[in-house]
């Protein structure tokens, strides 16, 4: 096919990553699919597919990430689209979440993305083209009690991706921040998300954890529609920087900005009164 592209996808053994990999292979694209254990990808997709390169990658080890990208280019000759999808949710109030738990969440949900970005950009700069798709979440807009660490990592992705888009534009490289609402993936399955080990009475952590478990399988979003949208934007000359997917995501973010605008206007006079007389 003339528009065949090479994709590099993290977290490809389940959820959005697996659904996207399946769609791309069905359309004739080439995919380097990463997981903590490539056998999990092979179990889902089979072995011997010429357009699939399953890779075992430790995303918090930059050397492992660099090696995976090198293997992708060696196998397929180039990389066109990178999808930073791997991540997990950590629940717990900020008093309950330990420094080690928060740090691990930052490593997997933020620094892993940056490892991929730093090591793919030399290829994108050299070929003067590329597209980086970073998964954030509607949770990156505003806070949720007992999910502050998750809000923090998803907000961080939005922040650095906006800067990245400005930095890489001269190299004809595009950036899209994907912020889904609740989709019917494995994210809410019991054991799929982490909960702070420390428990303090009075915080809503246990109630939130129970609500997540009970909502599993009832999420309104269709993962197949989301990954189809990603394929569509990858073929656009001017893809969106911000992409809210899911009715719940759209409503949450729309409300967030409306409320922030009201607050800013309410405090306008104080904001403008800070200059030297």
Catalytic residue among 136, 138, 146, 179: 136
Pair type for strands 242-245 and 194-195: unpaired
Catalytic residue among 150, 161, 234, 249: 150
Cα-Cα end-to-end distance for the chain: 67
Given 5, 13, 137, 174, which residue is catalytic? 13
> Does 154 qualify as catalytic in the annotation?
yes
Q: Is 179 a catalytic residue?
A: no
Q: What contacts 32, CB < 8 A, 6 or more positions away?
A: 6, 7, 8, 9, 53, 55, 68, 71, 72, 75, 76, 79
C-alpha gyration radius of the chain: 20
Helix axes 15-26, 38-45, angle to 10 degrees: 50
Q: How far is it, in rounded angstroms, from Cα 159 to Cα 165?
A: 10
3-class DSSP assignment, residue 239? coil
What would the DSSP string read from start to end of 108-132? IIIIHHHHHHHHHHHHHHHHT-EEE
- Which residue out of 35, 154, 174, 249 is catalytically annotated? 154
Q: Is 251 helix (H, G, I), strand (E, B) or coil?
A: helix
| E strands, the chain, in order | 6-9, 30-35, 52-56, 81-84, 90-91, 130-135, 173-180, 194-195, 242-245
Identify whether 13 is a catalytic site residue. yes
Residues 177 and 134: beta-carbon distance below 8 Å: yes
The residues annotated with a catalytic role in the active site are 13, 136, 150, 154
């Amino acid at each position: 096919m003339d528009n065949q592209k090479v994709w590099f996808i993290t977290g490809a053994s389940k959820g959005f990553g697996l659904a996207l990999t399946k769609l791309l292979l069905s359309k004739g694209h080439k995919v380097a699919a990463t997981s903590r254990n490539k056998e999990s990808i092979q179990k889902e997709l089979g072995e011997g597919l010429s357009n699939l390169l399953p890779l075992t990658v430790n995303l918090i080890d930059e050397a492992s990430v660099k090696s995976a990208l090198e293997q992708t280019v060696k196998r397929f000759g180039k990389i066109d689209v990178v999808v930073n999808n791997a991540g997990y949710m950590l629940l717990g109030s900020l008093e309950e979440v330990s420094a080690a738990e928060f740090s691990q969440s930052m490593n997997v949900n933020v620094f892993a993305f940056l490892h991929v970005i730093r090591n793919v950009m030399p290829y994108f700069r050299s070929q003067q083209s590329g597209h980086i798709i970073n998964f954030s979440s509607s949770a990156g807009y505003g806070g949720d009690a007992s999910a502050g660490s998750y809000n923090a990592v998803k907000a961080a992705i939005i922040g650095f991706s906006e800067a990245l888009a400005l930095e890489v534009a001269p190299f004809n490289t595009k950036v899209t921040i994907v912020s889904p609402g609740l989709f019917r993936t494995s994210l809410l399955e019991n054991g799929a998300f982490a909960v702070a080990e420390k428990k303090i009475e009075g915080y809503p952590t246990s109630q939130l954890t129970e609500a997540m478990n009970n909502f599993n399988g009832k999420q309104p979003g269709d993962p197949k529609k989301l990954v189809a949208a990603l394929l569509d934007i990858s073929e656009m000359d001017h893809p969106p920087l911000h992409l809210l997917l899911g009715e719940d995501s759209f409503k949450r973010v729309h409300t967030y900005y409306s409320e922030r605008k009201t607050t800013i206007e309410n405090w306008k006079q104080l904001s403008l009164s800070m200059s030297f007389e």
